[in-house]
Chain A
Amino acid sequence: MKTKELKEKFSTLHKKYEIFAPVRREKRLKTGYINTMSCVEFTAEIPEYSYKEAFFPSRQTMFKYKGEKFTKEGSLKREQVVLGMGLADLRALELYKRVFAEDEYFQNRIEKSVVVGFGKSPLSREALAVLPFDLFITQEEDESYKFLSRTDRGSKLAQELALEISEDIEESKKDEPFPVSDFYQQIKSNMEGDKAAKVFEDLGQKCIECGKCTMVCPTCFCFRIDDEQGFEEDEGTRKRVWDSCYYHEFSEVAGGHRFLDTTKDRIKFWYYHKFARIPNEYKMLGCVSCGRCTKTCPAGINLEENLKNIFDSSKEEGNKK
């Protein structure tokens, strides 16, 4: 099966499902809800935006109120197919599944989603078995496509679209499927011991706190809860909206006191969350190495470089002694 045929196979999808997929607009690959398959691109390229909007919307209405009457919102009306998630983005989805395990809004969306992964062969079956997809499309070396199914939902979708499953992937039963490597263990311990003060001193000078890295990051999930009044004084909505720990209001309490008071404090908070707090809490790393943050940063801040410096910071301290 070639690309044209693949697209044709998926062309009836929108009749039954909402579709969230990568699309190219003015040369830039983005993600979003779409209503025609014609603009969708099947590619292993990592889109600028992640897939988090499909599971954890940037503005999630929680409830509406009118006078004293409250109506719960936030259930998807139709099922959705989330198309084309690569390995890194699937790993980020696994983290969200742990973070939002008890969250009714996230769980509602997951229950109504068919997750379709995409990757270039060869792919290790062991690596695939731990990722939370239903159906997976592999692009073979001869540019043809194969379909792997991991769940009943995946098989059902394949049946609906008349796709031939070439292989079933068995769900991994491993207890800790995402072990944190020695390199990242060292980073974690340096963050916990506040060893990289110098690195953050420098970053604090460079970062302009635009928050773009947190918006494009597939694992960032900080949020805020906002009320919005409607046209009438007694009606409105409560929304859960993406927040960014880079914004100075993030830690502000009444009276204007900020517990994370400087750019340096806030950027450190971000690294601490991804590389120390998340591994402690959820037994996996809070970064899936997708490279989006580095690519998007207007100040040229490079994650990989910083990680190397944080890693080295304990050695430098050792030399000083």
Chain B
Amino acid sequence: MPKKQYKTEEIVLSKKSKLTEQAYLYTFKFKDPKKKLKFTPGQFVMLSFAGVGEAPISVASSSREASNTFELAVQNVGVLTEYLKNCPVGKVLGIRGPYGHGWPVDKIKGENLIVIAGGCGLAPFRALIKYLVEEKDYAKKIQLLYGAKDSQNMFFKKEYQDWAEVVETHFALDTKDQEVKGCVSLDEGLVTNLLEKDYVERDAYAHVCGPPIMAKFVIEKLLELGYDEEKIFVTLERRMECGFGVCQHCAIGPYYVCKDGPVFCYKKLKSIPGIIEVGT
């Protein structure tokens, strides 16, 4: 039976708040008041801007309850994201989805978790962090290791204090330009350096999102430090056109990033040549 695979739901931009010079947190509402977005942390939607195109964006709001409103945190990098930035509140856009498999929420129940993010790579974690903050005792210890250029380029700066009760936060900035509220430590340097610190839990799940080169170095370091490859999860970025495993743009070996990912267990990825080549 044919499904309406490309059916795009109308949404209205209801709020924009600035995250950094180049990024905003956008709040959207479905035009149809009965519609709700049900998703799991790490899943994404195809955001549609008629006349411009579509882009895969992770849902950034809490996934605990399906809701008529939801949030997307978007870094301005190209044509569609620039249009979005210039969008007035009230503008009608579209989404289809959610698609893919997100973070393995079931697996981390009662376990330690370290979240390692670089730059706008914190966006796909916001839904997970919000979930863990709302479900207070869901995981054992949660540590966030976040790297950015400087404090001006950090995502969700206003929220670290709200997360602090549940998430122990450590930052690494290329340039330590000013203090940041809500963190336990703030270092200068790369996020990979933080991994070596004594405070980092060793018996833990590790979730990674950042530019490809950062993900590679982080995973190398994690393996070196003895983390179990079955407990390392990483989200991949690829070009996507359909979002459900037909168009081929995001294919990697036997998998599709859109359908089988975007979050993958490292163990699954390591056998595919050229995806994350550790030690090269």
A residues with CB within 8 A of B: 62, 65, 68, 70, 99-104, 106-108, 192, 194, 221-227, 229, 233-234, 236, 238, 243, 245, 250-255, 257, 259, 265, 269, 272-273, 276-277, 280
Contact = CB atoms under 8 A, between A and B. Distances in A.
A65 B50 contact: yes
Interface size class of B (residues with CB under 8 A): 20 to 34
Given A192-B254, A226-B53, A255-B77, 14 more contacts: A65-B50, A103-B5, A103-B246, A194-B273, A223-B241, A225-B53, A225-B242, A227-B50, A233-B51, A243-B249, A252-B239, A253-B239, A273-B248, A273-B251
Given A229-B51, A238-B50, A253-B238, A223 B78 contact: no
Given A68-B92, A227-B50, A265-B274, A100 B251 contact: no
B212 interface: yes
Contacts, number: 88
B45 to A, nearest CB: 15
B244 to A, nearest CB: 8
27 contacts: A62-B6, A68-B92, A103-B2, A103-B5, A192-B254, A194-B273, A222-B247, A225-B53, A225-B241, A225-B242, A226-B53, A234-B51, A236-B50, A243-B249, A250-B239, A250-B249, A251-B238, A254-B81, A255-B77, A257-B212, A259-B238, A259-B239, A265-B274, A269-B251, A272-B253, A273-B251, A276-B254
Interface string B1-31: 1111110101000000000000000000000
A238 B238 CA distance: 21
A93 to B, nearest CB: 16
Contact of B51 (A103, A236, A253, A276): A236
Nearest to B245: A281
Nearest to A194: B273
Contact of A277 (B8, B238, B251): B251
B249 A280 contact: no
Instruction: State the majority secondary structure of interface residues on A.
Output: mixed
Interface in B223-280: 237-239, 241-242, 246-249, 251-254, 273-274
A102 B259 CA distance: 15
B251 to A, nearest CB: 6
Q: Is the interface of B mostly helix, strand, loop or mixed?
A: loop
Interface of B: 1-6, 8, 10, 50-54, 77-78, 81, 92, 212, 237-239, 241-242, 246-249, 251-254, 273-274
A231 to B, nearest CB: 12
Contacts of B212: 257
Nearest to B247: A223
B237 A253 contact: yes
Contacts of B8: 70
Select the residue from B10, B92, B247, B249 with max chain A CB neighbours within 10 A: B249
B251 A104 contact: no
B52 A227 contact: yes
A243 B249 CA distance: 9
Given A65-B50, A225-B54, A276-B254, A108 B78 contact: no
Nearest to A276: B254
Contacts of B4: 104
Given A255-B77, A265-B274, A107 B2 contact: yes
Given A243-B247, A265-B274, A277-B254, A227 B53 contact: yes
A287 B164 CA distance: 56
Q: Which 8 A-B pairs have the closest CB atoms?
A: A107-B2, A254-B77, A104-B2, A254-B78, A222-B248, A102-B3, A65-B50, A194-B273
B203 to A, nearest CB: 33
A255 B119 CA distance: 14
Nearest to B80: A254
Contacts of A254: 77-78, 81
A113 B23 CA distance: 49
Contacts of B77: 254-255
B50 A104 contact: no
B84 to A, nearest CB: 13
Nearest to B54: A225
Nearest to A229: B51
Nearest to B3: A102
Contacts of B54: 225
B248 A100 contact: no
A257 B211 CA distance: 10
A6 B78 CA distance: 57
Contacts of A224: 241, 247, 249
